[in-house]
Amino acid sequence: MMKQLFDDMAADMEARLLDHYTARLRFTLENARLCQRLYSDTHRLAWCGVCAPFDLLNAMGISSCFVEYLGAVFAAAGSAGQFLEEAEHAGFPTDSCGWHRAVIGAAAKGMMPIPDVMIATSSPCTGGVAAVEHLARTFDCPLYVLAIPPDDSESSVRYLADQIRHMVDFVSAHTGEALDDDRLRYAMHKTNEAREAAIEMFHLAQRIPSPARAADLRNFGITLPLFLGTEAAVEIAQAYRDEFAARSGQGISGVQGERFRLMWLQEAIQFRHPLIKMLEENYQAAIVIEELDDIYWEPIDAEDPYIGLAQRTIAFPFNGQADRRLKHIKKLVQAYKIDGAINPCHWGCRQGTGARGLIGEALKELDVPVINLEVDCADARNFSEGQLRTRLEAFMEVLDSRPGRRSTN
């Protein structure tokens, strides 16, 4: 059933692309294709934590994703509710992260393809490790753990690089897929090419007014890692770059009459909701960037990639102590000239919501207001539209009344 859904989705995207090529469609198509592979029964599969080096797995011909990705796919398709309910019936209280509960519930209902290997990553969160461990038990599947140090000292980088190397051996041993030097080199070159194009694309998004809007960039930064190491990632990033450049050149902004530039933190609400449209139409507020829409890592040395991959993994903004994340948020605020930030305090997310106070303080230093939304990004059943709308509207009223408010009209 899921396979059919993704087959139909991919076919639809392909047809629409022929008609009118857009970066967003191309990106959506790649997501559909990944889901097709994940549900195909003909590919080697790895379910992972958020910080696994997906480009390496792509180089080995393994189809993979972080488990939360599937949770988000279910939520976007409007089918997370039944899986969340299943997880609750199985004894997982609603206190924990909905992404994890959704995949645990889907697995309990037999709606998750059985993986060949599982790779837990200690970052960004404890809940993620627990979910992967649970799934490894459910599927009776070999489990590898990537322990990601919080610091980037030489010994920590080496420690992680060694683990990544052993991960390749582990995956090879359990799938029969090898990683030869040529495939590795190719993948790293593709990763770097995509990186270049993404940097250009983000640079364009920083323009005032921004050629970007929420619908373009939603989930981009968070899912790009899944396609790294492949030509697809390069195509997608270049398509966005070219589109933003064209729009910018023609004086077309993502939100017409852009009056406010907003940053959306952590992750998007995955199910359909009217809040972004409300912000765009009622306030001409553009969400010009999501927190993970950024290249925060250096190009990977294709001849000796493990050190570079380890450094990239450690540099993940949500890794380690909050300082790293706060520095990253401040950098984006300044680069994108952000007027205000929206912090969806995702229900059940401890590492994220635990930083709520610190984020508020850090943004106060830059005189940028932030609105905290208490929302479950995965569970449409729990969505209080009226309450969230009130908070966002009040927030926009605050932004609108600030002295010296910049207008792009």
Partner 1 sequence: MYYLGVDLGSLSCDAVLLDHEGKIMAASVVPTGARNREAIARATQEVLEMARISEAEIKATISTGYGRDRVEGRLAAVTEITCHARGAHALLPGTQVLIDIGGQDSKAIRMDGGGRVLEFAMNDKCAAGTGRFLEAMARALQVDIGELCELDLGASKNLTLSSMCTVFAESEVVSLIADGVEVNEIVAGLNRAIASRIAALVKRIAPDVAGLKVAMSGGVAHNHGVVRALSSALNTEISVPQQPDTVGALGAALVARERMLP
Partner 2 sequence: MTTEKASYIGFTCAYTPLALIDAAGYVPYRILPMGDAPDMAGQLLHDNLCPHVKRVLDRAMDNDLPELAGVVLLNSCDAMRRLADVWPKVRPKDRVILIDLPITSDDPAVSYFGRELSRLADTLFQWGERPVTQETVAASIDRYNQVALLFGSLRERLRNGGVSGGAARLQSLYNRAVTQPWDETFQFLEGVAEETNTPSVGQNGVPIFLFGNVLPDPEAFGLFESCGVRIVDEDLCTGSRVFAPIKMEKSEETLSQLARGILRRPRCARTLLTTQPGVLAAEVLARAAECKARGVIACSAKFCDPYIARIPGVRETLRKAGLPLLHIEGDCTMRSFGQQRTRIQAFTEMLRR
By CB under 8 A, the residues from 163 to 192 that bind partner 2 are: 163
Separation between Cα atoms, residue 339 and residue 263, nearest integer Å:
8
How many H-runs (helices) and E-runs (strands) does the chain carry? 18, 8
Q: Which of 59, 10, 53 is nearest to 31 (CA)?
A: 10
Contacts (Cβ under 8 Å, ≥6 apart) of 42:
none
Q: For residues 217 and 304, what is the distance between their CA atoms, to the nearest angstrom?
A: 32
- Nearer Cβ to partner 1 (101/391): 391
Q: Residue 155 binds which entry of partner 1, partner 2, none, with Cβ cut-offs from 5 to 8 Å by kind?
A: partner 2
Task: Say which entry of partner 1, partner 2, none residue 401 contacts (CB below 5 to 8 A, set by partner kind).
Answer: partner 1
Name the minimum Å distance from CB 127 to partner 2.
Answer: 4
Shortest distance, position 231 Cβ to partner 1, whole Å: 47
Q: Which does 334 bind (CB under 5 to 8 A by kind): partner 2, partner 1, none?
A: none
Q: Looking at 46-54, 214-222, 251-259, 391-399, which segment touches partner 1 (CB under 8 A)?
A: 391-399
The answer to whether residues 52 and 22 touch, using CB atoms and an 8 Å cutoff, is no
365 binds partner 1 (CB under 8 A): no
Q: Is 125 helix (H, G, I), strand (E, B) or coil?
A: coil
391 is a contact residue toward partner 1 (CB under 8 A): yes
Residue from 8, 231, 361, 365 touching partner 2 (CB under 8 A): that is: 361
Q: Does 266 bind partner 2 (CB under 8 A)?
A: no
Q: Which of 353, 334, 335, 351 is closest to 343 using CA atoms?
A: 353
Residue 351 within binding range of partner 2, rule CB under 8 A: yes
Structure tokens at 171: 């995956």
**What is d(CA 65, CA 297) in angstroms, rounded to the nearest whole number?**
20
Q: Measure the CA–CA gap between 250 and 395, rounded to whole angstroms.
A: 31
Q: State the minimum distance, in angstroms, from the CB of residue 390 to partner 1.
A: 5
Kindly state whether residue 386 participates in binding partner 1, applying the rule CB under 8 A.
yes
CB 35 within 8 A of CB 3: no
Shortest spacing between CB 147 and partner 2, in angstroms: 5
Which region, left, alpha or beta, applies to residue 78 given φ > 0 means left and ψ of -120 to 50 means alpha? left
The partner in contact with residue 100, picked from partner 2, partner 1, none with C-beta cut-offs of 5 to 8 angstroms by kind, is partner 2
Q: How far is CA 115 from CA 40, 48, 138, 174, 302, in A?
A: 11, 10, 11, 11, 28
Looking at residue 301, its amino acid is D
Judged by CB under 8 A, which stretch of 192-200, 259-267, 332-340, 367-375 contacts partner 1?
A: 367-375
Instruction: Give the one residue of 390, 404, 406, 407 binding partner 1; rule: CB under 8 A.
Output: 390
Are 67 and 103 spatial neighbours (Cβ–Cβ below 8 Å)? yes
Q: Does 273 bind partner 1 (CB under 8 A)?
A: no
Q: Which is nearer to partner 1, 126 or 384 (CB)?
A: 384
Q: Does 374 bind partner 1 (CB under 8 A)?
A: yes
List the structure tokens of 331. Answer: 């950098």
Instruction: For residue 277, give both structure tokens.
Output: 């449209």
85 near partner 1, judged by CB under 8 A: no
Region of 53-61, 125-133, 174-182, 219-227 interacting with partner 2 (CB under 8 A): 125-133
CB of 131 to partner 2, least distance (A): 6
Report how far residue 59's alpha carbon sits from residue 55's, in angstroms, rounded to the nearest whole number.
Answer: 6
Site string for partner 1, 338-357 (x = CB under 8 A): -------------------x
Binders of partner 2 among residues 299 to 328 (CB under 8 A) are: 320-323
